[in-house]
């Protein structure tokens, strides 16, 4: 690979990252229930890829997961168990979004209510 090819590849990567910023993920009917101890264990090792996958699988169990970009569906599936990554063969970059969202959901569930927190509504 020469310098010009490398720069072109970096440009395409940057454009792709901007494309991903417009992607929304919806778990229809809300995320599935996850046991409190599972959440706490996941929090202890949240940077672990295996843990992120396990969280995503729990949150998505028996749910329809829809990825949209500018109101156009780019990927949708109903997760009923097994390896969730099989749904992302044509778009592995969307799996990363789901895994990061799952970590966000975990943190949201573990955040105690406060006067300035949106979690106060859950009380």
Whether residue 50 is contained in a domain is answered as: yes
Q: Which residues of 55-75 are buried (b: 16+ CB within 10 A; e: fewer)?
A: bbbbbbbebebebeeeeeebb
For the entire predicted model, the pTM comes to 0.80
pLDDT tier at 117 (50, 70, 90 boundaries)? low
DSSP string, 33-91: P--HHHHHHHHHTTT-HHHHHHHHHHHHTTEEEEEEETTEEEEEEEE-SS-GGGGGTT-
The pLDDT of 59-64, averaged and rounded, is: 98
pLDDT digits (tens, 9 = 90+) for 70-95: 999 999 999 999 999 999 999 999 99
> Which of 16, 8, 28, 39 is closest to 96 using CA atoms?
16
The whole-angstrom separation of Cα 94 and Cα 67 is 8
Q: Say if residues 67 and 23 touch (Cβ distance below 8 Å).
A: yes
Tell me whether residue 62 is in a domain: yes
Mean pLDDT across the chain: 89
Number of structural domains (the chain) is 1
Cα–Cα distance list, 61 to 30, 55, 77, 90, 122 (Å): 11, 10, 11, 21, 22
Structural domain including 71 reads 21-110
């Amino acid at each position: 690979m020469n310098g010009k090819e490398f720069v072109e590849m970096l440009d395409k990567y940057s454009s792709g990252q901007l494309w991903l910023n417009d992607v929304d993920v919806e778990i229809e009917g809300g995320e599935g229930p996850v046991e409190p101890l599972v959440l706490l264990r996941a929090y202890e090792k949240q940077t672990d890829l295996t843990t992120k996958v396990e969280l995503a699988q729990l949150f998505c169990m028996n749910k329809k997961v829809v990825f949209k970009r500018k109101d156009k569906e780019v990927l949708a599936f109903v997760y009923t168990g097994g390896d969730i990554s099989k749904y992302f063969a044509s778009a592995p970059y969307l799996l990363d979004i789901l895994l990061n969202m799952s970590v966000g959901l975990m943190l949201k569930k573990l955040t105690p209510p406060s006067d300035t927190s949106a979690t106060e509504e859950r009380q």
